């Protein structure tokens, strides 16, 4: 984990209300793991005072500005404009100064390469699944189930398809792909691939439905939880969730930022997760 004072390389709208920000980030190619996140802050203004957490979409190398110059390492964040923090971010430009604290958190366990892998992403929840898919496609069959309210919420389809991932799109209004919920597609896939491993990220109602489906099929599940957090390192305890077996006599709390954001489903108390934050822009509100 390092605090980087760095600059923005690009910041572009990729779908109405969704932006992809590329940031100069030395060492992230060797440090960042699938499912990790960063704490982001704009240097040029005081508000918002606290850093915002954002899942890492991908890391890579940008072409040099001229011959003989080294390639630039970068990290990409994708965010949805949902509040004051992301409203400020959408107006940032190439060369603007920002701070990144990270990479942070516990990422995904890649599991057995012989298992079928099913990734389930809803809206901005697709973001942490890209680096996971990059790792998995080398040794496993990977299928991505993408869900959203409308076609505007289905982002980065082309990027996943370039990896060789099988993509299945569903929207609640039928404006793109199959009409209905992404969990309906998951039900069908688990009947076809009963030995699959499932990975999911998205709004809490979707995550809760995925957990119920996987539990009914005895399917291993890892979930990446979206949460508001102030510090990102487990100090403020603002992002705790209740662990399995939690009770008043024996409280069990887990920090989403440090022990997550990725959890094995059996680690969590699902009866107490209903009020967990959902669509929080990735989560830079």
**What are the backbone angles phi and psi of residue 274, rounded to the nearest 5°?**
-60, -30
Tell which residue, 56, 45, 131, 57, has the closest CA to residue 101: 56
> Which residue positions form the known binding site?
85-86, 231, 236, 239, 257
> Which residue positions form the known binding site for FAD?
85-86
> Which residue positions form the known binding site for [2Fe-2S] cluster?
231, 236, 239, 257
Residue 71: both structure tokens together: 């390639």
β-pairing verdict for 166-171 and 142-148: parallel
Residue 276: both structure tokens together: 């967990």
- Contact between 275 and 233 under an 8 Å Cβ cutoff? The reply is no
């Amino acid at each position: 984990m390092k605090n980087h004072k760095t600059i923005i390389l690009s910041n572009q709208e990729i779908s109405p209300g969704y932006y992809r920000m590329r940031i100069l980030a030395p060492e992230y190619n060797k440090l960042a793991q699938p499912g990790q996140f960063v704490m982001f802050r704009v240097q040029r203004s005081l508000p918002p005072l606290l850093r915002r957490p954002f899942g890492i979409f991908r890391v890579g190398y940008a072409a040099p500005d001229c011959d003989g110059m080294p390639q630039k390492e970068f990290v990409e964040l994708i965010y949805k404009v949902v509040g004051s923090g992301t409203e400020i971010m959408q107006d940032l430009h190439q060369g603007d100064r920002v701070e990144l604290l990270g990479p942070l958190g516990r990422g995904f366990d890649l599991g057995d390469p012989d298992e079928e892998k099913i990734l389930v992403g809803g809206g901005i929840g697709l973001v942490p699944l890209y680096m996971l898919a990059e790792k998995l496609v080398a040794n496993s069959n990977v299928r991505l189930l993408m869900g959203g309210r409308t076609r505007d919420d289905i982002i980065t389809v082309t990027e996943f398809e370039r990896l060789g991932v099988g993509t299945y799109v569903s929207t609640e209004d039928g404006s793109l792909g199959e009409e209905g919920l992404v969990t309906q597609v998951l039900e069908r896939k688990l009947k076809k691939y009963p030995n699959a491993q499932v990975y999911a990220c998205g709004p809490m109602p979707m995550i809760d439905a995925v957990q119920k489906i996987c539990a009914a099929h005895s399917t291993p599940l890892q979930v990446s939880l979206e949460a508001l957090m102030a510090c990102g390192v487990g100090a403020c305890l603002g992002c705790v969730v209740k662990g399995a077996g939690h009770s008043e006599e024996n409280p069990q709390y887990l920090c989403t930022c440090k022990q997550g954001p990725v959890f094995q489903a059996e680690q969590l108390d699902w009866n107490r997760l209903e009020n967990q934050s959902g669509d929080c822009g990735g989560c830079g509100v």
